[in-house]
Amino acid sequence: MSEPIKVGIIMGSQSDWPTMKDAADMLDALDVPYEAKIVSAHRTPDRLWDYGKTAVDRGLQVIIAGAGGAAHLPGMMASKTRVPVIGVPVQTKALSGVDSLYSILQMPRGFPVATMAIGAAGAANAGLMAAGILALQDAGLAARLDQWRADLSASIPDAPSDDG
């Protein structure tokens, strides 16, 4: 039997996928099952509501939510479910993602969103953060995450080189 899906990756638009794929790739690397869905706060509000309403019962334990511009998706999702929400501000053309960052970061007291950096690094870190949360209850994943971190450290040279 396949492992139950505990991580939901949601995004406001197809155009967010190139960024959000970095979260998915990280979860793939750590062998963490996930689902990826387009759920827009503005264009599909009913879909957002249903997703939040059913998240606990479906067994989701972390939701990674990415959006750009007036990025209401992570905050609205946090208002609808107690499943922890990790927000990824997608980089925008008009304001370079600072709009997304502020929209996601400045939540009112009571409805937290764990906000990552703007763009692909933030998405990758969201995958790592989700894995870290699940690893608290999953020794196998904890070992894989420890190994991933050790491999990253080992790949960093101790001195710079002219060859790059």
146/163 Cα distance (integer angstroms): 30
Residues 16, 60, 85, 97: which binds ligand RP5 (CB under 6 A)? 16
Q: Binding pattern to ligand RP5, positions 23-42, x when CB under 6 A?
A: -----------------x-x
Q: Is 144 annotated as a binding residue?
A: no
Nearest residue (CB) to ligand RP5, 52 versus 145: 52
Across the beta sheet with 34-38, what order do the strands follow?
Answer: 34-38, 7-11, 62-68, 85-90, 114-115
122/47 Cα distance (integer angstroms): 24
Which residues from 91-150 bind ligand RP5, rule CB under 6 A? none
User: Position 58: which residue type?
Assistant: R
Annotated binding site for substrate: 13, 16, 43
The residues binding ligand RP5 (CB under 6 A) are 12-13, 15-16, 40, 42, 67-69, 90
